[in-house]
Amino acid sequence: GSTTLVLQALIPPLILQQGVSRITLTGGTHVPHSPCFHYIKEVFLSFLGMLGIHVEAGIEMFGFYPKGGGRIWAEVRPAKEIRGIFIRKRGEILSIKGCSGVSNLPLSIAERQRQSALDILRPCSPEIDIDTISVPSVGKGTFIFLKLIAENTVAGFSSLGERGRRAEDVGREVADAALSHIHSRAALDPYIADQLVLYLALSKKESSFSTSRITKHLITNLHVIKAFTGLSYRIEGASGEPGIVHLWPSESGP
């Protein structure tokens, strides 16, 4: 299973506890259909920090499909108050940072992934720094993660290698996703948009943000959260397109 999805499920109840919670999770850390650990640490936890939620996390062993075997840890502090956010404008892209990694495979694969992404993204930022790394794991795997740092926000994108897939295609996929977000000029990437709304619903403050894609995940999350919390919301934009989301927690009202 995915350690990152389990971590995301644990954080909401843990921030309501009286003391600091320390947890260790084992399983997949960079697997399909879930955020990779780098995204959690560099993007998700950064946004939680903006809301006043403080979580530290680290990785001790990487876990790739199908063997898994990864290990991550997290320290979750109680949240005294959850702030809202108002981020409509991303600002200019200041830099793109990231890493292209392999486990129990030639480092040249990571370099090919890196170069493919660089060829596409080099015109988009004055500073691009993608490291090539070899990581510990019980199995074989490859990944590439990119963090876009803008004036007002951050965004993240990743891609995973698999048997029979060219390294250049892995790099191209993550670069194309990043490029689409850059061209939208929206503040939040489509993944963090649906991951944040639960915390914004727990805030007593109004929130509003732009996102590069209104996803079905986002729409579904808002619908379910409204049923449980009384959250009011409005979406400007069509599914699959850039848009703006307005949120009014039950105590603040629209």
- Would you state the pLDDT for residue 64? 98
Q: Provide the CATH number for the domain formed by 188-248 in this structure.
A: 3.30.1370
Assess contact for 214 and 238: CB atoms under 8 A.
yes
Q: How many CB atoms lie within 10 A of CB 223?
A: 11
What percent of the chain has pLDDT above 70?
98
pLDDT tens-digit readout, 30-77: 999 999 999 999 999 999 999 999 999 999 999 999 999 999 999 999
CA distance 10 to 3: 11
How far lies 33's CA from each of 51, 108, 144, 159, in Å? 26, 26, 15, 11
Residue 141, token pair as written in the block: 């795997």
CA distance 37 to 25: 12
Closest CA to 175 of 238, 234, 100, 242: 100
Residue 22: band (very low, low, confident or very high) from pLDDT cuts 50, 70, 90:
very high
Residues with catalytic roles: 217
pLDDT tens-digit readout, 201-227: 999 899 999 999 999 999 999 999 999
Asked whether the CA dihedral 224, 250, 199, 11 is positive or negative, the reply is: negative
Is the model's pLDDT at 254 over the cut of 60?
Answer: no
Is the model's pLDDT at 246 over the cut of 70?
Answer: yes
Residue 252: band (very low, low, confident or very high) from pLDDT cuts 50, 70, 90:
low
Assess contact for 26 and 71: CB atoms under 8 A.
yes
Domain 93-184, CATH homologous superfamily name and number: RNA 3'-terminal phosphate cyclase, insert domain (3.30.360.20)
- Would you state the pLDDT for residue 236? 98
- Would you state the pLDDT for residue 251? 64
- Would you state the pLDDT for residue 125? 78
pLDDT tens-digit readout, 112-142: 999 999 999 998 877 999 999 999 999 999 9
Where, residue-wise, is CATH 3.30.1370 in the chain? 188-248
Where, residue-wise, is CATH 3.30.360.20 in the chain? 93-184
- Would you state the pLDDT for residue 124? 85
Reported as type and span, the H/E element at residue 149 is strand 141-150
pLDDT tens-digit readout, 138-172: 999 999 999 999 999 999 999 999 999 999 999 99
- Would you state the pLDDT for residue 204? 87
CA distance 44 to 56: 11
